[in-house]
């Protein structure tokens, strides 16, 4: 199980939202680049970058930050607002190791297919779900689309991975929705990353029990920033397993 610390960027700051609500924002740092470097120094193999401004605007806004982070050899995946080949190209040109499509993958399946053909093995799809239904546009637009059905579609389109976020768990520090994540992982053959709600080392142990089902990464944000545990502790627990 790989632990992936998150750096959410809004207005050039390192922040965290509760359930994706821009009105419930906590600023945890002035410099996202330094924060990404800190996670790397503490053992992160990959850092999860979320462009919150880009997610609302519908275009990538953190190219400069990706460039600075990649310049100091911190591998990153980036998502939020990537809705065109121009933005996708920009993310990889800036040094991203993996790009995440969300809203664009849902609205434009042909774009997803083009993206996965152009960058095979490097394009993941973020499925953000509220009560099992896909949510779009920085979680501001709910749909009636079933998350599991969408997971099957993006696998067929060539996505290398699914990053599944349960919106109602995100930022709540009450544990991840592991049942929903397992259901998605069992429905597809590509690996799945669980995101949202991890609050303790016991939560990480629980996540490890889903590894046989295809869940091999866990993204952690708020819990690290508030000091619930350290990144090295999380990595060690993930290495040990359940």
Q: Is 8 a catalytic residue?
A: yes
Long-range Cβ pairs for the range 175-178 (8 Å, 24+): 175/199, 175/200, 175/203, 175/206, 176/203, 176/206, 176/207, 176/218, 178/206, 178/207, 178/209, 178/210
Can you tell me which residue has the tokens 């920085």? 138
Tokens of 87: 């933005």
User: Measured between alpha carbons, how far is 130 from 167 in angstroms, rounded to an integer?
Assistant: 5
Catalytic residue among 51, 87, 128, 203, which?
128
Q: Which of 8, 51, 53, 203 is catalytic?
A: 8
Among this protein's residues, is 108 annotated catalytic? Answer: no
Active-site residue numbers? Answer: 8, 128
């Amino acid at each position: 199980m790989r632990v992936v610390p998150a750096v959410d960027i809004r207005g050039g700051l390192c922040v965290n939202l509760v359930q994706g609500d821009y009105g419930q924002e906590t600023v945890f740092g002035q410099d996202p680049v330094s924060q990404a470097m800190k996670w790397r120094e503490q053992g992160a193999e990959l850092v999860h970058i979320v462009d919150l401004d880009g997610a609302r605007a519908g275009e990538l806004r953190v190219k400069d930050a990706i460039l600075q982070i990649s310049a100091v050899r911190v591998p990153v995946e980036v998502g939020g607002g990537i809705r065109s080949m121009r933005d996708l190209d920009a993310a990889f040109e800036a040094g991203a190791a993996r790009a995440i499509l969300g809203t664009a993958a849902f609205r434009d399946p042909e774009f997803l297919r083009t993206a996965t053909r152009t960058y095979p093995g490097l394009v993941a799809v973020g499925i953000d779900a509220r009560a099992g239904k896909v949510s779009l546009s920085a979680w501001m637009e709910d749909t009636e689309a079933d998350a599991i059905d969408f997971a099957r579609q993006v696998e067929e389109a060539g996505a290398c991975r699914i990053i599944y976020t349960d919106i109602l768990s995100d930022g709540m520090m009450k544990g991840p929705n592991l049942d929903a994540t397992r259901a998605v992982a069992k429905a597809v053959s590509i690996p799945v990353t669980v995101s949202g709600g991890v609050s303790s080392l016991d939560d990480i142990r629980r996540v490890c029990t889903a590894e046989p089902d295809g869940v091999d990464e866990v993204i952690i944000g708020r819990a690290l920033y508030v000091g619930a545990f350290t990144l090295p502790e999380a990595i060690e627990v993930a290495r040990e397993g359940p």
